[in-house]
Amino acid sequence: MISVSLVIDDPGTLVAAMTSLAADPGLRLLARARSLEELRSAESVPAHVVVVHTEVSGPPCGAETVRLLRAEGRVAVPLEAGGPPEDRLAVSIRTATAAGPRLSGQERAVLLGYASGLTLTAAARRAGIRPATAKKYLERVKQKYADCGRNAYTKLDLASRAREDGLIG
């Protein structure tokens, strides 16, 4: 489930965005605001993605809001005036989050071995670490995917995420 917050001050655009989010069961509206300041008050926890209408009058303006959110390490999706049709907003959000989590070299090595079909012990051996350490790495990987809104509970889930991120063929 990907949580989404909206920074939109135009009522028509807000309704269109909310309708688009409601149509996708994998997206959940967390907060809506008319400005960055209002967003900071409205979010109890940060959303995975913030959709910002570029026509937000601010302060700061829409483009500056996107820049500030990205500088904080947040995923900010600009919503251009008139852009994307309702059915493509979800695609824009999913594309923005598809880059996957940042994995360390060892986390990536264990994930690749395990998701490719090796047992945890074999993946650990290939990475040159102990199985208990490999298990901790996999738990971190699962948590990082969950933090991106792309849960990976099982070995099959991990293989799917790795494939989606282009880590395995």
Class in CATH terms, 2-97: alpha beta
Task: Count CA within 13 A, CB hemisphere, residue 14.
Answer: 13
**CA dist., res. 99 & res. 85, Å (int):** 23
pLDDT tens for residues 41-54?
999 999 889 999 88
Listed as ranges, residues in the chain with pLDDT below 50 are: none
Evaluate if pTM is beyond 0.85.
no
**Backbone dihedral angles phi then psi of residue 55, each to the nearest 5 degrees:** -90, 5
Are 2-97 and 105-164 in the same CATH fold?
no
CATH topology of domain 105-164: Arc Repressor Mutant, subunit A (1.10.10)
**CA dist., res. 94 & res. 150, Å (int):** 10
pLDDT score for 17:
87
pLDDT score for 149:
66
pLDDT score for 85:
56
Domain boundaries, the chain: 2-97, 105-164
pLDDT score for 71:
83
Q: Are 158 and 138 in contact (CB under 8 A)?
A: yes
pLDDT tens for residues 9-38?
888 888 888 988 888 888 899 999 999 999
